[in-house]
Amino acid sequence: MALRLSLVAVLLLLSAASTTTTTAAPAQAKSDCTDKCGDLTVPYPFGMEKGCYLREEFYIYCDRTTPLPTAYLMKGNVIVTDISLDDGELRILNMVAEDCYEAQGNLPSNSPYWLTLPLPYTISDSKNKFYAVGCDTVAYFQAFRGEDKFSGSGCISICNSLDSVDNNSCSGAGCCQTNIPRGLKNTTVVLISVANHTHIWEFNPCSYAFIAEQGKFNFSVAGLKKQDNSYRLPAILSWAIGKDTDSCDEAQKNKEDFACKANSMCVNGSVGYLCRCLPGYEGNPYHPDGCQGGL
Ligand SMILES: *[C@@H]1O[C@H](CO)[C@@H](O)[C@H](O)[C@H]1NC(C)=O
Ligand SMILES: *[C@@H]1O[C@H](CO)[C@@H](O)[C@H](O)[C@H]1NC(C)=O
Ligand SMILES: *[C@@H]1O[C@H](CO)[C@@H](O)[C@H](O)[C@H]1NC(C)=O
Ligand SMILES: *[C@@H]1O[C@H](CO)[C@@H](O)[C@H](O)[C@H]1NC(C)=O
Ligand SMILES: *[C@@H]1O[C@H](CO)[C@@H](O)[C@H](O)[C@H]1NC(C)=O
């Protein structure tokens, strides 16, 4: 009887122990650091307070004055909605460049858009596209690739009437799109008009251009109307953990600031390097405690 009771007790203890290990969430932020800004989870190397982020570039400013707190990258105007450690990506809400005209062809507002971010941020070439919307629209983007100036790429959309616009298809009539080369940073989006939208003004007073996540922008005829200028669209940035574009081999030689902690390994990112937990381990490979687990 006593034996049977103690066996039950041991089983209970064992099951209690196993539930605590399986429910223990892997450390995400550094200890004593806030890890939420509204719906956004902010894992290390990102952080919102002094001592909570690895370097200035990983600082997230959380604006709690809005009903739903909003996270900004560094102190800029880029809103962050998702942080992925595994892929080395950030989902951001990016601004839209616009070029609007009055009926007589005067230019009341022209807002080119600059996405000026230092390394380790580059625009993901595989997950984004460059889009332009308008019927008197020449749109292009310029940027830097490493230290070299990338002079530009873009697309043109010219149409004389709504009948010639392809509704729901960004194929060159009313909307055009193009690919983005790998490794772009400090991007500028530029819009030019051929005839100041004069003959098409009734249905299309403005041109718009932006870099957006592929599949997150569906063109429709309604997009040719004037948009509210706080209009933003999701885009994907790639990031790396190193200060420069060093790959794993080079970073591992500089042991003192190598970022991959216990039970993790180095993987080459699209630019620079990233860390991942070793197979059988989980958690945050950048956290001072490293990855946890192992059987
Ligand atoms: C990119 O922009 C950042 C932030 O404005 C700046 O510090 C950096 O020098 C720029 N890089 C190039 C190559 O222009
Ligand atoms: C364009 O397509 C949308 C559906 O995506 C529809 O609501 C709209 O009426 C269409 N506009 C025209 C002019 O056909
Ligand atoms: C367009 O507007 C600009 C600036 O207002 C003006 O200099 C130019 O002559 C206009 N071009 C046409 C084709 O109307
Ligand atoms: C765009 O259209 C696709 C297919 O119709 C749909 O699955 C997707 O949700 C739409 N995206 C947006 C942002 O409206
Ligand atoms: C990482 O990239 C460097 C340079 O491109 C290459 O020499 C190295 O083999 C790559 N390492 C891994 C682990 O893929």
pLDDT tens-digit readout, 87-119: 999 999 988 999 999 988 888 777 777 888 888
Ligand 3 pocket at CB < 6 A: 105-107, 195-196, 198
Per cent of the chain over pLDDT 90 is 67
For residue 227, the model assigns a pLDDT of: 82
162 CA: nearest ligand 2 atom: 13
Ligand 1 neighbours, Cβ below 6 Å, are 116, 118, 144, 147, 186
Nearest CA to ligand 1 atom 9: 118
Cα 254 to the center of its chain, rounded Å:
28
Whether the CB of 216 sits within 6 Å of ligand 4: yes
- Ligand 4 atom 5: the closest Cα is on which residue? 218
| 268 close to ligand 5 (CB < 6 Angstrom) | yes
Answer yes or no: are the C-beta atoms of 136 and 200 closer than 8 Å. yes
At residue 165, φ and ψ (nearest 5 deg) are -90, 135
pLDDT, the chain, mean = 87
Which of 22-26, 61-65, 84-88, 186-190 has the least mean pLDDT? 22-26
103 Ramachandran zone, left/alpha/beta (phi>0; psi -120 to 50): alpha
Q: Which ligand 4 atom sits nearest the alpha carbon of residue 218?
A: 1
Q: Which residue bears the tokens 């042991």?
A: 255
7, pLDDT greater than 80: no
38 pLDDT higher than 80: yes
Radius of gyration, CA atoms only, the chain: 24
Task: Compute the distance from residue 142 Cα to the ligand 1 centre, in Å.
Answer: 13
pLDDT band of 254, cuts 50, 70, 90:
confident
The answer, yes or no, to whether residue 26 has pLDDT greater than 70, is: no
Say how far apart CA 189 and CA 198 lie, in whole Å. Answer: 23
Integer Cα distance of 111 and 210 in angstroms:
12
Closest ligand by atom to 168 CA: 2
CB of residue 248 inside a 6 A radius of ligand 5: yes
CA–centroid distance, residue 29 to ligand 3 (Å): 54
- For residue 294, the model assigns a pLDDT of 67
* Separation between Cα atoms, residue 227 and residue 220, nearest integer Å: 13
Please give the distance, rounded to the nearest whole angstrom, from the Cα atom of residue 32 to the centre of ligand 5: 36
Tokens of 291: 């990855």
pLDDT of 211 higher than 90: yes
Distance 171 CA to ligand 5 centre (A): 38
With a 6 Å cutoff on the Cβ, whether 247 touches ligand 5 is: yes
Nearest CA among 217, 229, 204 for reference residue 177: 217
**Residue 32 pLDDT greater than 70, yes or no:** yes
User: Could you tell me the pTM of the whole model?
Assistant: 0.86
Q: Which ligand is nearest to the CA of 166?
A: 2
CB 81 within 8 Å of CB 40: yes
Q: Say how far apart CA 173 and CA 189 lie, in whole Å.
A: 20
User: In angstroms, what is the span from residue 141 Cα to ligand 1's centroid?
Assistant: 16
What is the average per-residue pLDDT within 60-84?
Answer: 93
Tell me which of 65-74, 190-199, 249-258 is least confident. Answer: 249-258
Which ligand neighbours the alpha carbon of 148 most closely?
1
The response to whether residue 260 sits with its C-beta less than 6 Å from ligand 5 reads no
Determine the atom of ligand 5 nearest the C-alpha atom of 273: 1
State the Cα–Cα distance between residues 50 and 215, nearest whole angstrom: 37
13 vs 167 pLDDT, higher one: 167
- Which tens digits make up the pLDDT trace of 126-153? 999 999 999 999 999 999 988 889 888 9
Say what the pLDDT of residue 18 is: 39
CA of 116 to the centre of ligand 1 (A): 6
Tokens for 154?
A: 């873009």
